[in-house]
Structure 1
């Protein structure tokens, strides 16, 4: 395509770094399908088109006087990404709305303050914190993406928070071991009862 001849006064064949554009008559806008490889194999359901303008003098349009410019803004899937983020926020908001009252019930009733329920409380609390974290992160992606870009790559939690989380996980493990040991005792009792009934 690039070696083909073109009519005088028209814009020549060109490669813009994404795809080839054929020779085009002056004062004309040409459109070509968006390259499939920019979507990583998952293109939009409706074909989208990029455009490039040939100016009167037979030169391709240059943005701000710099190099030739092709308009790929219509190839964007930003709307789809925003829609997915809103779905994430809605789903996790439902989780928060369901988990918060359940956690309040677990905490408020004295009858539920036992080791078995503590495991459930920790599970619900971890799910609640995760949901809140995802909601905050998705909102930042939608409205304050520059804040996320400023977070350093080697970001780590503060030492105090790390100690709190370590103590929290240690307590959870202790509760889990108690539940497992009580479960083993019950299984042992049921086995001995069966043996007695056989004899």
Structure 2
């Protein structure tokens, strides 16, 4: 009985210490915010929230850059935030923070002890650099915002805001504002062309949702792949009659015609495999609406399909070489006997397969 009471007391003590530790962390955040007020008279607006003091805004914008980043940029996914209420000028503001290894972390990009922790949350340093760029751009936006532009009025129902990725000035109703897409929005190191996001201003204010789908090159890549698939499918359909003619007529079963037929068959098979690969794998992977692509879910059969696709491409070149070699031999040595078909087929298979196997091994 005494042992049970002792164990119960230890448990309650541990719970109390944990609670006390949490309280200390929260008070530390409040102290940090109050101590680091950059300019308590300058306010900035984040999305549809009320205007925040500058330093409060910095922490909120830093968290939003982390929150809106792709989950795959983080080592163990994104950590759920908590909020700490902070009073400033008789107004309470919620300051987001996360807990990492029992430490409260705010998103202050000027504080090295926090940025080091945030950096270690990312898979690669380039993704951390994107977060840092986003947070700094938010503060550049904040410094540019005029105090008189933060509240809506009849002429400008859409106030100046930072929407989480982009800075928007005050805007008149029934307007669609387009802005260049920021590079930190995507995993790309650069844009090959200028892409623009779109945000609508109505008589009731900003549309809460900014259209950033336009910032993805996936749509353009998808359209190119779809065009390629259609083109290959049409070309393959036109090849079917020629394959049937080669197979049906006995007069076309001479060795030189067989080589032509094999080349057409290799091209036809390659087209079918490319169409299949693009439809099932590539177009699915570039679809921005997908959280996980087919390749993420079933990697093995994707590798198998890619192996045979590359094999068919090599087969085209070996068949072209065999056809060219036979044509050359026919011109130079017109009365020589034809090469043994089995030997020729063996050379074609070996010359096509070995490079594909080597590629497969090197690609892992």
- Structure 2 length-normalised TM: 0.34
Partner of 1:66: none
Partner of 1:97: 237
Structure 1 CA distance for aligned equivalents of residues 146 and 213 of structure 2: 29
2:275 aligned to which of 135, 157, 160: 135
Are 1:30 and 1:52, in contact at CA under 8 Å, matched by a contact in 2? yes
Structure 1 CA distance for aligned equivalents of residues 142 and 274 of structure 2: 48
Partner of 2:120: none
Identify if the C-alpha distance between structure 1 residues 152 and 22 changes in structure 2 by more than 3 Å, giving closer, same or farther. Answer: same
1:32 aligned to which of 177, 180, 185: 177
The CA deviation string for residues 79-122 of structure 1, in whole angstroms up to 9 with x for no partner, is 65555444333322221121111111112222212221222112
Structure 1 segment 114-193 matched on structure 2, within 5 A: 114-140=254-280, 141=282, 146-152=293-299, 156-157=303-304, 172=319, 176-186=324-334
1:22 aligned to which of 162, 169, 187: 169
Identify if the C-alpha distance between structure 1 residues 37 and 123 changes in structure 2 by more than 3 Å, giving closer, same or farther. Answer: farther
Structure 2 CA distance for aligned equivalents of residues 179 and 115 of structure 1: 11
Structure 2 CA distance for aligned equivalents of residues 16 and 52 of structure 1: 15
Higher relative contact order (CA 8 A, sep 6+): 1
Unaligned runs of 5+ in 2: 1-140, 153-158, 184-190, 288-292, 335-364
- Backbone CA RMSD of aligned residues: 4.7
Work out the number of aligned pairs and report it: 166
> Within the alignment, does 1:107 sit opposite 2:247 as a pair?
yes
The structure 1 segments of at least 4 consecutive aligned residues displaced by more than 6 Å after TM superposition are 168-171
- Structure 1 length-normalised TM: 0.55
Identify if the C-alpha distance between structure 1 residues 96 and 107 changes in structure 2 by more than 3 Å, giving closer, same or farther. Answer: same
Residue 182 of structure 1, CA deviation? 2.0
The CA deviation string for residues 143-194 of structure 1, in whole angstroms up to 9 with x for no partner, is 7963244353996449xx79x97xx7898455653332222225xxxxxxxx
Unaligned runs of 5+ in 1: 62-68, 187-199
Structure 1 CA distance for aligned equivalents of residues 200 and 227 of structure 2: 35
